[in-house]
Amino acid sequence: MASALTKLVPPKPIKLYSCVICPWAARTWIVLTQANVEFEYIEIDLKNKPEWFLKEVNPGGKVPTLKYGNDILIESAITTEFVADLFPEAKLHASDPFVRAQSRLMADRFMENVFGIYRETAFGGNFGALAKIFDAIDKFEPYLINAKPFFGGSDHPLLPEILIAPFVSRIYMVLESEYAAKEILEKLSTDPKYSYFHTWATNLIASPGVKGTFDKALNMAWLSERIASQKK
Ligand SMILES: N[C@@H](CCC(=O)N[C@@H](CS)C(=O)NCC(=O)O)C(=O)O
């Protein structure tokens, strides 16, 4: 991983158009932060998108949008991989091709099994869906290989872990909130069956790139507002 003191300077200036409550944008924000890249962060109000953003940056209007020199890149999986490829010294890909393939499989399985639970709670207001987390972990955990503390024994999260990190932090945020049945987090944190997943997830949430880009209070306020508007 890059030294905390030395910023990685990209060949062309990088601007990240993002929004603090967007988990997709968080992927790119995390990778830039973790790799200690020099970049400019621009917050976009998605409820009131600036005209200049739509006209001059991204007519599609979505975040993340990454500007590299004069070129525009979109789609979080692509912008995130671009940063990892631009800075090989940040070691965001596993060096062993098999480990790299497995880590991608792990992220795919996570998105297939765990992402839906986040969507049901944050967008559907169905907090009962959180009980499905245990079955989802059973399906995803076999691919979480040698996560000590991160995939393949890495001392920092690898790209596939960064892709899922925004959802891990948000699911834990919901589990810690008044909306979730308390027993779920209690079981996750005390039952030995889930200790491998829970330790990995806790380490991921605490890793500097993830922690430094996740404003829990703001995200919680967004969620509460959403739930309140659904009740109206
Ligand atoms: N598939 C896109 C999804 C990005 C996305 O949906 N971003 C949302 C915010 S979380 C957005 O920009 N919404 C504004 C809009 O759709 O107009 C990615 O991975 O980058």
| Residue ranges of the chain with per-residue pLDDT less than 50 | none
Is residue 22 part of the annotated active site? The answer reads: yes
Q: What is the CATH number of the domain that holds 161?
A: 1.20.1050
Q: What is the pLDDT, as a whole number, of residue 220?
A: 96
pLDDT (tens digit, 9 = 90+) per residue, 144-167? 888 999 999 999 999 999 999 999
The rounded radius of gyration (Å) of the Cα atoms in the chain is: 18
Residues 16, 21, 22, 162: which is the catalytic one?
A: 22
Cβ neighbours, 10 Å, residue 228: 10
Distance 16 CA to ligand 1 centre (A): 14
Query: Mind giving me the DSSP string for 37-97?
Result: B--EEEE--TTS--HHIIIII-TT--S-EEEETTEEEE-HHHHHHHHHHH-GGG--S-SSH
- Going by their DSSP bridges, the two strands 71-74 and 40-43 should be labelled as unpaired
How many domains does the structure of the chain reveal? Answer: 2
Strands 65-68 and 40-43: unpaired
Which residues make beta-bridge pairs with 67? 15, 72
Is 50 in the same domain as 110?
no
Give the separation between CA 226 and CA 224, rounded to whole angstroms: 5
Residue 13 has what pLDDT?
A: 98
pTM exceeding 0.75: yes
Among 47, 58, 62, 167, which residue has the most ligand 1 atoms within 8 Å of its CB, making it the best to mutate?
62
Ligand 1 pocket test: pick from 20, 24, 42, 115 the residue with the most ligand atoms within 8 Å of its Cβ: 24
Judge if 77 and 136 occupy the same domain: no
40 phi and psi angles, rounded to 5 deg: -105, 130
107 lies in which domain range? Answer: 97-231
Q: Could you read off the pLDDT of 14-35 as tens digits, one per residue?
A: 999 999 999 999 999 999 999 9
> Last residue of some domain: 73, 90, 107?
90
